[in-house]
Amino acid sequence: MIKIAPSILAADFARLGEEVEEIRRGGADYLHFDVMDGVFVPNISIGLPVLKSLRKATDMFIDAHLMIERPLRYVERFCDQGADLVNVHVEADSEENILAALKAIRAKGRKCGITLKPATPAEAARPFLKLADLVLVMTVEPGFGGQSFMFDMLEKIRLLRVMLDEEHPDCELEVDGGITVETAVPAKAAGANVLVAGSAVFGKADRAAAISAIRNS
Ligand code: DX5
Ligand code: ZN
* Residue 174 pLDDT level (bands cut at 50, 70, 90): very high
Q: What is the CATH number of the domain that holds 90?
A: 3.20.20.70
What was the pLDDT predicted at 36?
A: 98
- Least distant ligand from the CA of 9: 1
Domain of 113, in residue numbers: 3-215
Distance between Cα 44 and ligand 2 center (Å): 13
The answer to whether the CB of 179 is under 6 A from ligand 1 is yes
Q: Is 176 a catalytic residue?
A: yes
Q: Is 152 a catalytic residue?
A: no
The answer to whether the CB of 145 is under 6 A from ligand 1 is yes
d(C-alpha 176, C-alpha 178), whole Å: 7
Distance between Cα 65 and ligand 2 center (Å): 5
d(C-alpha 118, C-alpha 138), whole Å: 6
pLDDT in tens, 145-157: 999 999 999 999 9
d(C-alpha 215, C-alpha 181), whole Å: 8
pLDDT in tens, 95-123: 999 999 999 999 999 999 999 999 999 99
What was the pLDDT predicted at 43?
A: 98
The answer to whether the CB of 17 is under 6 A from ligand 1 is no
| Nearest Cα to Cα of residue 41 among 124, 134, 157, 138 | 138
| Nearest Cα to Cα of residue 54 among 71, 75, 78 | 78
Closest atom of ligand 1 to CA, residue 177: 14
- Number of structural domains in the chain: 1
- Least distant ligand from the CA of 140: 1
Q: Report the pLDDT averaged over residues 208-215.
A: 98
pTM: 0.98
